[in-house]
Structure 1
Amino acid sequence: MQILQNVTVKRVLTEKSKELLVNKYHNNKAQLQKECDQLLFELKKLEKTRKYSAASLKAQFDKEIDTRKEKIKLIDFQIEQLEILPFGSELKDDDLQSIVDINIGDNWDDITKGKTIIIKDGVIVEIRER
């Protein structure tokens, strides 16, 4: 019989992985900033048409812009934390599901413990039992 089991994937922080993460964060931040700029442009465009109530329109757009600005603050915090972390630290990357064969006589506690996969620079370096 087969069952699904949760598997945690962790990445070891190296110079290469740190650089990739920082680039990813900066790209996400730039994308969010572009979205804020686009929302402001759309707001001004819609205000000129005068088809909608200016106050409610501005409130909706402000809410969307504020949501993105909060995400930008979170990214800035993540970048700060990443700068503090020493190389060799393990960062949780993902949770996956794996198929596990079980048979009569297997130790249930060992099966349900789950596993953790450790990745260093894109290569699996260790598979741990939790």
Structure 2
Amino acid sequence: MLKLLRNAQVKHILTKSKRLEIREQLESDLHQSKRELAQLTFHMQKTLKDSKLKHNEQTIRERYKKECKQKQDQIHTLTFKLEQLGLLTEGIEVDGETVETIVELTVGDKWVDVNRPIEIILKDGIIQDIRESRNEK
């Protein structure tokens, strides 16, 4: 017997409860990102007021602006995902996480394409289907 590691893409069938779960996670992530952006702004102002670092003011501003821009982009992305979630119809498959699985092979088994991940389809946390991915990876 031979054991192979193989990627599996978990997909969720969108239901009312899954939509609510995704919305709550996105809203939580959005709230956290906004809080982190506010903290970055506060820390930038505090650091700039520090008299010992006046000679590095431009460098400090650039560093914090870069970090703030990344957070603003993250906030924009999360907001967009929340808007798009409202447009999705129930019953479609939504990508979830990727997990590693172990495939057991014995002599006489059909060879599997290890470059093609398995899809595990869940509906409200219950496995509905396990199939080879339709997309080449």
- Give me the TM-score of the superposition, normalised by structure 1: 0.91
2: CA distance, partners of 1:70 / 1:114: 30
How far did residue 100 of structure 1 move?
1.0
Within the candidate set 96, 99, 102, 2:99 is matched to 96
> How is 1:1-130 mapped onto 2 (pairs within 5 angstroms)?
1-52=2-53, 53-108=56-111, 111-112=112-113, 114-130=117-133
Give the distance between the partners of 2:127 and 2:47, measured in 1 at CA: 51
Partner Cα separation in structure 2 for residue 32 and residue 121 of structure 1: 28
Unpaired segments of 5 or more residues in structure 1? Answer: none
Question: What is the letter of the counterpart of residue 35 of structure 2?
Answer: K
State the shift of 1:101 in Å: 1.0
**Which one-letter code corresponds to 1:9 in the other structure?**
V
- CA distance in 2 between partners of 1:8 and 1:51 (Å): 52
Total equivalences in the alignment = 128
Q: Deviations over 1:81-127 (max 9, x none)?
A: 1111100010110111111111122211xx22542111111121222
Aligned-residue RMSD, C-alpha:
1.3
Structure 2: runs of 5+ lacking an equivalent: none
> Take 2:123 and 2:33, find their aligned partners in 1: how far apart are those partners?
29
The one-character-per-residue Cα deviations of 1:2-32 (angstroms, maximum 9, x if unpaired) are: 1111211100111111011111111101101
Find the aligned partners of 1:114 and 1:57 in 2 and give their Cα distance: 45
Per-residue CA shift, 1:38-97, capped at 9, x if unaligned? 111111111111222211111110110110000111111111111111000101101111
